[in-house]
Chains A and B, each alone.
Chain A
Amino acid sequence: MSKQPKDWLKGVLSAYDTVVIGSGLAGMTSANLLAKMGHKVLLAEHHYNMGGMATWFKRKGGHIMDISLHGFPCGMIKTLRKYWSQDISERVIQLKNVRFDNPQFSLNTSFDKIDFTHILRERFGIMKEVIDEFFMTARNMNFYDEMVMTTRDLFEKFFPGRTDVWRFLMEPITYANGSTLDDPALTYGIVFSNFMDKGVFTYQGGTDHLITEMKKELLRNGVDIRTHCMVEKIYVEDKTVQGVRINGQDIACKSVLSNSNLLTTIEQLTGEEHFEPEFIEEVKKVRLNNSSCQVYMGIKKGETVPHVGDLLFSSVADEYCTDKILSKDVTSRTFSFYYPEIRPGTNRYSIVSSTNARYQDWAKLSESQYKKDKHDLEQNTLDALEKYVPGIRKKVDHVEASTPKTFKRYTLHPSGTSFGTKFEGLKISRDLPNQINGLFHAGSVGIIMSGWLGAANYGVIVANETDKFLRQLRPSLVTASA
């Protein structure tokens, strides 16, 4: 007897105010807000889990691996409190020990403005006035500023020729959002300042706890959550959103908020023919951001790892160099050490190594070569880690790698992009509703709207636009204060 395939859309309504495509942090945050504002929201996620890149997986031996919990700015506390709940926000804790180790310098820092100022003075011999002005310039950058200056220009202006300083200031940000010295300085300024405000933070309980709590909150607010549900098409007529097709089934809606990649949303889900040709011309210029490789190392039950730091930016490259950071011949890695405090009561450790990577480098390999290269990546990572955790091979009982292909498979993002698009994507994302009534996009885009904080806040910004749109269609809607 063949088993009846499960109907993941069972009981779905025939129409919604908004269909949110994808349950990344932007998608979930906007779905939550729109539901709280009184709209009927369907949240459709193709994967069996929610969270998008904010995810985790479990392996035999009691291992839990976090994918993107290396750290976020303290602004996340406020975002979680305002758009999720007080309880969720109270779980945010600081990571106090960030380490750099490379041929130019080895140092520890709490990764905030006070400590960076101190290090720039004492260690790198930069004058106090220069440091202060640098911080001020970075802080005052706005996303509507003119973007003539690149990050390279910015560094050249304040720290000419000081590639050691550049590395200190830039390497962590490159890992955080894939930006390079050639991206607009404002993308650097905004993200760097967010971190420098108070340091790097994480979520106690792990990604699984966060996403589980968010799911409860979404259900409480009346969001219709559907996993295993692939949105295949956004229907548009007369430049207005009509509905979507999910798992072959048509569902009407007044608006769509897509957390799917920006280019996928335009080119595949909607179709270029619905947009102005000039707009599509601009869309073609949008560059995707890079992808990632990770190696997940689970520590045996009962084994421990000494406190060698929370985040470790390690590199054997002479100088900071984006090309080298992206290269398949890995010279630079970020290690995240997850101690038992991350999941109190479990007494378990794990270590995740992350590197930025290019999709093409992995996609073109034969199956056997791909396997071999993945294996090599795991082994080289263990070798590199030996320096910091002697005897690591004896402590580890699970090792596994992911590549740009892995990220693509789970998030459907073209080229497995980890951080959406380069800066030009933001304008396109913001312009979607001017092209098609009721079509919105929220999710990693434009460098500044990526990362946990950027994606969640962008979800709020776009939910505001969507709410405005929906209320124009239904002027009588007034929601009692919460």
Chain B
Amino acid sequence: MTIEDVRKVILNILADIAPDEDISSIDDNTKLRDQIDLDSMDFLDIVMELRKRFNIEVPEKDYEHLATMAGCVSYLTPLLKDRQLAS
């Protein structure tokens, strides 16, 4: 997966978790929490989805990397680089 693919994956997951939010205009460097209505259960959902879809385990100490889109992408890209984006 490329950086762009990883970003798509995350947007895809966010769209499931927060269907009422406009995720198309997310700014990569601002905290996700400050842009869309996400609580700690929603972050847990992101972690569960990543495990379910790609078998990636994000340990609790690394949750902070998921705070922004840029953080998600740079944390997840190395873990997903050998994977295909599911069609």
Contact B53 A471 (CB under 8 A): no
Shortest Cβ gap from B39 to chain A (Å): 8
- In the assembled complex, the Cα of A482 lies from the Cα of B52 at a distance in Å of 10
Shortest Cβ gap from B80 to chain A (Å): 13
Contact B53 A478 (CB under 8 A): yes
With A82-B17, A480-B86, A481-B86 given, is the CB distance from A461 to B44 under 8 Å? Answer: yes
Cβ-based interface call for A125 (8 A) = no
Cβ-based interface call for A475 (8 A) = yes
Cβ-based interface call for B81 (8 A) = no
Cβ-based interface call for B72 (8 A) = no
Cβ-based interface call for A468 (8 A) = yes
- In the assembled complex, the Cα of A455 lies from the Cα of B27 at a distance in Å of 34
With A460-B41, A460-B44 given, is the CB distance from A471 to B86 under 8 Å? Answer: no
- From A79, A478, A482, contact of B55 by CB (8 A): A478
Cβ-based interface call for B51 (8 A) = yes
Residues 453-469 of A, flagged 1 when their CB comes within 8 A of B and 0 if not, give 00001001100100110
Shortest Cβ gap from A449 to chain B (Å): 12
Contact A475 B17 (CB under 8 A): no
Cβ-based interface call for B45 (8 A) = yes
Contact A471 B17 (CB under 8 A): no
Contact A464 B48 (CB under 8 A): yes
Contact A467 B53 (CB under 8 A): no
- From A37, A78, A461, A478, contact of B54 by CB (8 A): A478
A-B contact count (CB 8 A): 41
Cβ-based interface call for B47 (8 A) = yes
Shortest Cβ gap from A198 to chain B (Å): 12
Contact A479 B52 (CB under 8 A): yes
Shortest Cβ gap from A31 to chain B (Å): 15
Contact B41 A471 (CB under 8 A): no
- In the assembled complex, the Cα of A461 lies from the Cα of B60 at a distance in Å of 12
Q: Which of B31-87 contact A (CB under 8 A)?
A: 39, 41, 44-45, 47-49, 51-55, 57, 86
With A79-B41, A457-B41, A461-B44 given, is the CB distance from A468 to B57 under 8 Å? Answer: yes
Contact B41 A467 (CB under 8 A): no
Shortest Cβ gap from A77 to chain B (Å): 11
Cβ-based interface call for A147 (8 A) = no
Contact B41 A479 (CB under 8 A): no
Contact B47 A464 (CB under 8 A): yes
Closest to A86 in B: B19
- From A37, A82, A460, contact of B52 by CB (8 A): A37
Q: Supply 20 further A-B pairs (C-beta < 8 A) apart from A461-B44, A471-B55, A471-B57.
A: A33-B48, A37-B48, A38-B52, A79-B41, A82-B41, A82-B45, A460-B41, A460-B44, A464-B48, A467-B48, A467-B51, A468-B57, A471-B51, A478-B53, A478-B54, A480-B86, A481-B49, A481-B52, A481-B53, A481-B86
